[in-house]
Amino acid sequence: MAVEDYAASLDSIQAARNRIQGQIRVTQVITSSSLDALAGRSLFFKCELFQRGSPLRSSSSGAFKIRGASNAIFSLSDEQAERGVVTHSSGNHAAAVALAAKLRGIPAHIVVPRNAPKCKVENVERYGGKISWCDPSVESREAVCASVKSKTNAVLVHPFNDPQVISGQGTVALEFLEQVPQLDVIIAPISGGGLISGISIAAKAIKPEIKIIAAEPTGADDAARSKAANSVQTNKQTCTIADGLRASLGSLTWPIVRDFVDEVVTVDDSAILEAMKMCYERLKVVVEPSGAIGLAVALSDKFRSNPAVKHCTNVGIVLSGGNCDLTGLWESLPN
């Protein structure tokens, strides 16, 4: 496929950066010598958990999702914006759409699964999002979202299968490679594929030799199976603590994942929990399961023994979000 056949490009990602620069934060990169020693490599953590995406006085943190949501919403014409926006999400994208809509002064209709984390639902409510509940399945989310869209005539801002959303998420890579130009690898979570798609398009355009590794839970491993089969595979059901990584690849994200992501590495929930614990204890940051999975992959035997990254010494890890119900976390940790 030619570059122009993909849903995003370096040009569209750079345009997104210009469009949203007043709406987002340039998030910092942190390091830990003790984690470097464990990994046997230099690790650089891009802290999207410090991104806008939750109220500053809230106990929860932000997430990368405001990048894509802002780019999509601020790309709308005035006529489109007057109709408001609608989306479906288990949490971080929901809050991001509600916030971006509030910043533009338009209504946001948010379809949320009944099992969404309380802290993420509270973020949507604080930003004035109008919540419609659905069952915790892709089919229910999409059906309720379609119903709300039909009733309100609102514009759909899809969580990942949207060119403007993908381009917005790609701004993570622009910043990361400016902050740490020596990166050999970037590890980022994968679910629907919006984040990893934007990152891989931008990073490979800037630095073609860089490796892009997608981090995925074993209990929601459709991307790994899709790469192995060279065709889209779906999850009939998911079972993972990483609530933000339960979606399946979209029609726009799959071609990018197929052609630009070098490997999909899966890790189980115990590894994710251990990585969360390390983030808390060694990096001193609050990170949700979906955000900690990149560290879990970097410390995994699958990554360490992977010949594709054998000579890579500088590893970038995207800590994608920090919206975590701490009560649930501590109850999940083994005694």
Q: What angle do CA 148, 155, 193 make, to 5 degrees?
A: 95
Q: Quick one: pLDDT at residue 1?
A: 64
Q: In the chain, what are the helix, strand and coil shares in percent, each to the nearest 5?
A: 50, 15, 35
Distance from C-alpha of 173 to C-alpha of 196, rounded to nearest angstrom:
10
Q: Quick one: pLDDT at residue 59?
A: 36
Q: Quick one: pLDDT at residue 52?
A: 77
* Neighbour tally for 136: CB within 10 Å: 15
Q: Quick one: pLDDT at residue 139?
A: 87
3-state class (DSSP) for residue 187: strand
Strand partners, 214: 188, 264
Tokens 């995994």 — which residue?
Answer: 300
Q: Quick one: pLDDT at residue 4?
A: 66
CA 80 vs. chain centroid, Å, equals 26
State the pTM of this model: 0.93
Helices (H), 105-252: 118-126, 138-152, 163-169, 171-179, 194-206, 222-229
Distance from C-alpha of 110 to C-alpha of 92, rounded to nearest angstrom:
11
Q: Could you report the per-residue pLDDT of 286-302, keeping only the tens digit for each?
A: 999 999 999 999 999 99
Maximum alpha-carbon separation in the chain: 56
Positions in the chain short of pLDDT 70: 1-4, 53-61, 326-330, 332-333, 335
Beta carbons of 253 and 194 less than 8 angstroms apart: yes
Task: Please give the full DSSP string across 49-100, using - where no structure is assigned.
Answer: GGSSSS-TTSSS--BTHHHHHHHHHHTS-HHHHHT-EEEE-SSHHHHHHHHH
Strands 155-156 and 42-47 come out as unpaired
Beta carbons of 89 and 144 less than 8 angstroms apart: no
Q: Could you report the per-residue pLDDT of 6-57, keeping only the tens digit for each?
A: 999 999 999 999 999 989 999 999 999 999 999 999 999 999 999 975 444 3
Distance from C-alpha of 307 to C-alpha of 305, rounded to nearest angstrom:
6
Q: Which residues are catalytic?
A: 65, 90
Q: What angle do CA 260, 5, 227 make, to 5 degrees?
A: 35
Residue spans per domain, the chain: 10-54+162-326, 64-156
Residue type present at position 204: K
Q: Quickly name the fold that domain 10-54+162-326 has.
A: Rossmann fold (3.40.50)
Half-sphere exposure of 84 (CA within 13 A, CB side): 17
Please state which CATH class domain 64-156 belongs to: alpha beta
10-54+162-326 and 64-156 agree in CATH topology: yes
Distance from C-alpha of 34 to C-alpha of 283, rounded to nearest angstrom:
10
Distance from C-alpha of 110 to C-alpha of 242, rounded to nearest angstrom:
21
Distance from C-alpha of 185 to C-alpha of 210, rounded to nearest angstrom:
6
